[in-house]
Structure 1
Amino acid sequence: MATLSELLAQKAALEKQIIETQREERAAAIAQVKSLMSQYGLTLADLSAKSGAATPRRGSTGKVPAKYRDPDTGDTWSGRGLQPKWLKAALANGRSLSDFTV
């Protein structure tokens, strides 16, 4: 059975070996990336450029302009989502959607 000091020495040697192996593998990966970049004529700017095919598209986060306005209250609706109560009520009373177009 190994003593505590022997085990600690083995641990230190293993940690040193792990760090060295990580360093070697990282250097090999960097060399491989540089080789591929050279082979395909890529630059760092190419790596950071956003590609439409590679980047998933997200929905618009900006505010949508109003398409319909209630002339009495000034309330607006973009035409997206559920119709607001004021518009439903006006349509139920015989008005048309085109009456509220901005």
Structure 2
Amino acid sequence: MATLQELMAQRAALDQQIAETKDRERGDAVAKVRALMSEYGLTPADLSMRTPRGPKPASKVAAKYRNQATGETWSGRGLQPKWLKAALAGGAKLSDFAL
């Protein structure tokens, strides 16, 4: 059975071999990519796979309801606006505000 020191030495040797192999294979891959880029006339911009990040812009939804007195509108999505809640509480019907 191997001692802890022997195992640690083997581990260090393996880590070194892994690093050297990774560097060599990475270099080979870069050389292949450069050769293909040269062969097909590609530029780094052609290889760009970046996509815009961040939230997508919210799409506008057409208004379905309008307050005739103020011109305020509501699309029917989300919470009802205060002007509509107040009018509905006062006895108006939602269809009264439909466009």
Unmatched segments (≥5 aa) in structure 1: 98-102
CA contact (8 A) 1:66 1:76 kept: no
Structure 1 residues 63 and 75, CA gap change in structure 2 (3 angstroms): farther
- Cα deviation for residue 8 of structure 1 reads 1.2
Counterpart of 2:57 in structure 1 is 61
- Normalization by structure 1: what TM-score? 0.58
Deviates more, 1:8-17 or 1:38-47: 38-47
Q: Structure 2: 5+ residue runs without aligned partners?
A: 85-92
Hey, what does 1:71 align to over in structure 2?
Answer: 68
Residue 63 of structure 1, CA deviation:
5.3
Gap change, CA 1:40 and 1:77, over 3 Å in 2: farther
Q: How does 1:21-36 map to 2 (within 5 A)?
A: 21-36=21-36
In the TM superposition, what is the alpha-carbon distance from 1:29 to its structure 2 partner? Answer: 1.3
Amino acid at match of 2:60: V
Deviates more, 1:66-75 or 1:18-27: 66-75
d(CA) in 1 for partners of 2:5, 2:18: 20
Label 1:73 to 1:90 Cα distance change in 2 as closer, same or farther (>3 A): farther
- After TM superposition, where is structure 1 displaced by more than 4 Å over at least 4 residues in a row? 65-68
The 2-side partners of 1:22 and 1:61 are apart by 42
CA RMSD for the aligned pairs? 3.4
Q: Structure 1 residues 77, 96: CA separation in 2 closer, same or farther (over 3 Å shift)?
A: closer
Identity of aligned residues (%): 48
- Residue in structure 2 matched with residue 39 of structure 1 by the alignment: 39
